[in-house]
Amino acid sequence: MAFVLIGLLGTRLKNGGGLWAVVAEGLALVWGLYVALSEMGAPLPYHDVSFVWFGLPNGTNFAMGTLVSPLGALMLLVVNGVGLLVVVYSLEYMGHEEGLPRYYAELMLFLTAMNALVLADNYLEFVLFWELVGVCSYLLIGFFWKKPEAAAAAKKAFLVTRVGDVMFFIGIFVFFTAFAGVVDPHAVLYPGTSCPGASVGGGLPWACAGFTFTTPNANSATTFLPAGIVAQNANPWLMGFGGVMILGGAVGKSAQFPLHPWLPDAMEGPTTVSALIHAATMVAAGIYLLAITAIFLGFTEITSLIILAIGGFTSFFAGTMGVVAPDIKRVIAYSTISQLGYMAMAVGASSLVSDVSGTFVGPGAAMFHLFTHAFFKALLFLAAGSVIHVVGTQDLFKMGGLRKYMPVTATTMLVGALALSGIPPFSGFFSKDDLLGLTYAAAQADAVAWPFFALALLAVFLTALYIFRLVFLAFSGDRYRGAPPSAPHPGAAGTHPPTDPHEPSWIMRGPLVILAALSVAAGFLPLLPAFRGLLPGLSWGLFGFTYTGSGWIFSTPDLVISAISLGLALLGLTTAWRLWGNGRVYALPAAGPLPRIHGVLLHRYYIDDAYDAFGRSVILGIARGFAWIDRYVIDGTIHGFEEVFSGISTRGRKLQTGLVSNYASWVILGLVVLVAFFLFVVPHLSGILGGG
């Protein structure tokens, strides 16, 4: 069913036109809703093997199949919901650009690949579409390919994620050998569901290969390690290594430290692309990967800790850079990195808790944050796009006072900012609260997690600081700081002269309003028991009261964490107001540590420069070494052969007199030699060899 529909999308994209894209994406959303609703009704994986891709001699077959799981259904909602709104928004935002068929075709290809990625039933298929969304990301970042920065950013995004992808591949190989079978994480994540189609795909135990649970009940306190793995004597260290490698893939895709530098540069692409790919969907694929792999990642405590550490550190680290970035889109990009860090941290925390307590805690908290984040981050991006569209610059310091001119954009941006900073009742509060609580539990389970919990709390403050810096710089005050630019900003699509900023039409405002509504509503969705069924391990609550589905449980630590994070968020908000609110532009003191810190942050901790230097010195050195080897060893060998043979032939060609008689002499000579051989040598030989 899924592939038929996605196939339909594939043919549609050849039409190129934006309206077709809207229609196709609308259909996809309807279908996604249908799938999600049916998953809510009964959270059973729907599994179907379309065809066998290729087989191995040992009997393992690789198939292309569809597996609809609850998490996948959630992702379908996110991808197609945001996708539809972005496509509609594009109708106006991209309206003035060249190469629109290319844009829509690439966008549709991306959405197709993303849908397929979410529905992949095994890692190999997953990787296939994983790479495909990577390619689409590359193409769309480089959409303004005439601009050298955009082309360079596209290349950077592709190459940096490639580092992660190589690790991902290694991880899959490790898993593959460790399990000697096909890895299907969905079957593990939703135990108690029998694996439909287990014998499909060449008569092999397909979806459940190697994974049988001792207790088919997720809620009972039982070891979460699948009995099948233990039976196969999987080496836990090998599994841990595989987990770290898989994590590498997620780190690359989700722009976690240290593979984060591509995401801010990816802002060279159209804002719509940033909203869809680099905020809501593709970068979240890394988190999705971690979530569906969570059960394996928890194999060794150290793996869980590494994930938690990377996530926690990234959330703080990206937040600091977001505070200084002058570019409106880059601020949001850093925020994305930071929020993705939260999600990774939550996955690590849930698997750490599982590890220590022995009870499997699902990655629901991370996925819930992914869900809410997709909406408010897409909202922020689209609102920023609307500002750029009208003002014609991305420089925050050239904006200001836009609230008057663009009330709808300002309001929706404010909603997004509130949701991002985690102010109740906006959705970000609930999801962030949840994952902070989870991290607290993880820190109690393993003390190493404490510093990262602290960093995550600090990141709450930073989040509110940078996002309200953006909001205040762009919208508050009475003064519009930007002079009408003589030339339109190269990165801005369809710029109008900024003499009279005004709201864009409802084609662009509509998606903003819808997303703002979703940003509020998404936080309350777990009140529906059916929705909670999609998110294993989620503990949704409000100020220490956790909703269990039937009643409320109170716990003091949760209340304290909620209070602290809310306090930090409000502190960030007020700090931002004091520094940048009401038209103020905070000027750095000329001396002291602040300007220096500011410089370091502006240069992104010199990490990009360090990578560049590394590339220039080490990699280029290695490359020179190889060039030398190529020139003198490999080419040298070949040239040596050439010398030898040309020497032989220079002498040899003297034999070619061209006179037939001479050739004939050689023939006769050869004959004489042969005859002599057979007459005199062969009898002796046969005598020696004892033959007849």
Partner 1 sequence: MIPFDDILAGSGILFAVGTFGVLTRRNFILLLISVEIIMNTAILNFIAFSAYAPGPSILGVTGQAVAVVLVGLAATEVAVGLAIVLALNRVRGSVDVAKAMDLKL
Q: Kindly list the residues in this chain that would bind partner 1 in the complex (CB under 8 A).
A: 653, 656-661, 664-665, 668
| Orientation angle between helical segments 364-391 and 282-292, nearest 10 degrees | 180
**CA R_g for the chain:** 31
Between 42 and 671, name the residue whose CB sits nearer to partner 1.
671
* Least Å from the CB of residue 687 to partner 1: 25
Between 483 and 660, name the residue whose CB sits nearer to partner 1.
660
Between 216 and 670, name the residue whose CB sits nearer to partner 1.
670
**DSSP letter assigned to residue 259:** S
CA–CA gap between residue 413 and residue 473 (Å, rounded): 12
Between 556 and 656, name the residue whose CB sits nearer to partner 1.
656
User: How do 545-547 and 61-68 pair as beta strands?
Assistant: unpaired
- Tell me if residue 443 falls in helix, strand or coil: helix
Question: For tokens 């690590």, what's the residue?
Answer: 348
Q: Give me the DSSP letters along 173-214.
A: HHHHHHHTS---HHHHHSTTS--TTTTTTTSS--TTTT---S
| Orientation angle between helical segments 328-357 and 364-391, nearest 10 degrees | 180
* Least Å from the CB of residue 671 to partner 1: 9
Q: Looking at this protein, which amino acid is placed at residue 188?
A: V
* Least Å from the CB of residue 644 to partner 1: 20
Between 653 and 684, name the residue whose CB sits nearer to partner 1.
653
Q: Give me the DSSP letters along 349-403.
A: HHHHHHHHHSS---THHHHHHHHHHHHHHHHHHHHHHHHHHHH---BGGG---TT
* Least Å from the CB of residue 685 to partner 1: 25
* Least Å from the CB of residue 647 to partner 1: 16
The CB-side HSE value for 172 (13 A sphere, CA atoms) comes to 17
CA–CA gap between residue 678 and residue 629 (Å, rounded): 50
Between 34 and 645, name the residue whose CB sits nearer to partner 1.
645
* Least Å from the CB of residue 642 to partner 1: 19
Between 217 and 649, name the residue whose CB sits nearer to partner 1.
649
* Least Å from the CB of residue 664 to partner 1: 5
Between 486 and 650, name the residue whose CB sits nearer to partner 1.
650
The structure tokens listed for 378 are 């897409």
The answer to whether the beta carbons of residues 420 and 530 sit under 8 Å apart is no
Between 499 and 656, name the residue whose CB sits nearer to partner 1.
656
The structure tokens listed for 176 are 């593959």
Angle at 70 between CA 375 and CA 125, to 5 degrees: 95
Between 42 and 648, name the residue whose CB sits nearer to partner 1.
648
* Least Å from the CB of residue 667 to partner 1: 8
* Least Å from the CB of residue 680 to partner 1: 18
The answer to whether the beta carbons of residues 26 and 32 sit under 8 Å apart is no
**Which of 536, 518, 152 minimizes the C-alpha distance to 368?**
536
**DSSP letter assigned to residue 258:** T
* Least Å from the CB of residue 638 to partner 1: 24
Between 646 and 657, name the residue whose CB sits nearer to partner 1.
657
The answer to whether the beta carbons of residues 313 and 341 sit under 8 Å apart is yes
* Least Å from the CB of residue 641 to partner 1: 22
The structure tokens listed for 258 are 């240290």
Tell me how long the chain is. Answer: 692
* Least Å from the CB of residue 648 to partner 1: 15
Between 668 and 685, name the residue whose CB sits nearer to partner 1.
668
Task: Please report which helix (H) or strand (E) contains residue 48, including its range.
Answer: strand 46-55
* Least Å from the CB of residue 668 to partner 1: 6
The structure tokens listed for 567 are 């306090």
Name the phi and psi angles at 234, rounded to 5. -65, 135
Between 30 and 672, name the residue whose CB sits nearer to partner 1.
672
User: How do 61-68 and 46-55 pair as beta strands?
Assistant: antiparallel
The answer to whether the beta carbons of residues 136 and 253 sit under 8 Å apart is no
Question: For tokens 């205040």, what's the residue?
Answer: 472
- Alpha carbon 632 to its chain centroid, in Å, reads 42
User: How do 552-554 and 61-68 pair as beta strands?
Assistant: unpaired
* Least Å from the CB of residue 692 to partner 1: 19
Between 655 and 688, name the residue whose CB sits nearer to partner 1.
655
